[in-house]
Amino acid sequence: MSTRRPLPPAPEHGSVPGRGGRTLTATAEAESDEMTAQTGLSAPTTATETVSAAFPGGRRRSRGPFGPTTRLAKAAFPVLPLLVVLALWQLLTVGKVEFWLSFDKLPTPGEVATALGAQLTSGTYYQDLLASVRRILLGFGLATVVGVVTGVAVGRSRVARAAIRPVIEVSRPIPAIALVPLAILLFPTSEQGIVFITFFAAFFPVAVSTIHAMKSLPKVWEEAARTMGARRVAVLTHIVLPGAMPGIFSGLSVSMGVAWICVISAEMISGQFGIGYYTWQAYGLLDYAGVVVGMLSIGALGFGTAWVVERIGARVNHWLPRAAE
């Protein structure tokens, strides 16, 4: 995992004097901004002072001469760390810095922006995005259905537990991406293979969190329903599933992340379309700006799908005591 990470700069690096300390200040302030919902540009304190001032629950801190600029600062604040990263990127790539890490072949932000602009007007880019999203939706959707059904069965039936649990335990430690050769042999098209790998990876978080949700359901809900005359099906649809939704959705969130990792990896190895395939091909063609465009697109898609899962979860589980926060 840690082989290619161009971002973290060495603080003592010659070309960015004093940048390390500044970044830390910005991050600490951004966090305190979320916590207290009122802050301004920090007075020129040192990083350590800011960190200690941000946390001991001080809700109202007077900002002295910075009061009037507070609103602007608040709007600008989340952007600031990103700008710092961008600036670092610009400096390192334009300067073609080679100091243990080599930035000489990496594209500059400007080159990436140009490449992105070109992609946004090309049809194949959207085809690639669509192909990946389709695979995600199929794999993740299948994993959701099969995972919840399996989880409920294992969690509630002794027979199912005895039959299915060992299979889950044996196959769970296998990283889905290790199934690529098998998937190529098994499935007639690589498309189906990729969906299968995505499904395989996304299945376990859903199934396991559903099983745990079954275990943590308060007994009294089901007992109350039974004394009111609920039969098996009614208990399942009215008690078990709604009550397990918080657990199921935490599994779905994890599973969506895992699904993206696997779709991209599988596309890089055996795909014909898809944003992972695009990224890997750009690398092969020495189109490094294209690689970064691919990375950013994957990030955006991952963010978008995670957001959708989060939103649906928040709606379904609106009754949780902390849902409004």
Partner 1 sequence: MSDVTGAAGGARVTLDGLTISFGGMPAAQVDLDVPAGEILVLLGPSGCGKSTILRALAGLLTPDAGRAELDGTSVAESRSRCAMVFQEDALLPWRSARRNVEFALTLRGVERRARRREAEELLAQVGLQDFADHMPGELSGGMRQRVQLARTLATRPRVLLMDEPFGALDAQTRSDMQQLLVTVWREYRTTVLFVTHDVDEALLLGDRVVVLTPRPARVNRVIEIPEPRRPGAQFEPEFARRRYEILALLGESPDEALTSAAG
The site for partner 1 (CB under 8 A) is made up of: 218, 220-221, 223-230, 234, 238-239, 242-243, 245, 317-319, 321
CB closer to partner 1 out of 65 and 229: 229
Phi, psi of 320, deg, nearest 5: -60, 145
The strand pairing partners of 73, in sequence order, are none
Neighbour count for residue 99 (Cβ, 10 Å): 12
Measured distance CA(29)–CA(23) in Å, rounded: 10
Bridge partners, residue 102, by sequence = 98
Question: Which is nearer to partner 1, 134 or 226 (by Cβ)?
Answer: 226
CB contact at 8 A, 208 and 151: yes
**Least gap, CB of 234 to partner 1 (angstroms):** 6
Q: Considering the complex, what minimum distance in angstroms separates the CB of residue 222 from partner 1?
A: 9
Residue 161 or 238 with smaller CB distance to partner 1: 238
Nearest distance in Å: CB 229, partner 1: 4
Nearest-angstrom CA–CA distance, 271 and 280: 10
* Nearer to partner 1 (CB atom), residue 173 or residue 229: 229
Question: Can you tell me the distance from the alpha carbon of 53 to that of 55, in angstroms, rounded to the nearest whole number?
Answer: 6
Q: Which residue has the tokens 């007075």?
A: 43
For the bound state, the minimum distance from the C-beta of residue 309 to partner 1, rounded and expressed in Å, comes to 19
Kind plus residue range of the DSSP H or E element containing 269: helix 241-270
Distance, CA of 103 to CA of 285 (rounded, Å): 18
Q: C-beta of 228: minimal distance to partner 1 in Å? A: 5
Phi-psi region of 10 (alpha: psi -120 to 50; beta: other; left: phi over 0): beta
**Closer Cβ to partner 1, 20 or 243, answer by number:** 243
For the CB of residue 313, give the shortest distance to partner 1 in the complex, in Å. 13
The whole-angstrom distance between residue 102's C-alpha and the CA centroid of its chain comes to: 28
* Shortest CB 214 distance to partner 1, Å: 16
Distance CA 4, CA 1 (A): 7
Least gap, CB of 318 to partner 1 (angstroms): 8
d(CA 21, CA 153): 53
Both tokens assigned to 207: 């199934």
Residue number, 164 or 235, with CB nearest to partner 1? 235
User: Tokens 């989340």 appear where?
Assistant: 78
- Give which of 221, 206, 213 is closest to 168, Cα–Cα: 206
Instruction: Closer to partner 1 by CB, 159 or 220: give it.
Output: 220
By beta-carbon proximity to partner 1, the closer residue of 104 and 223 is: 223
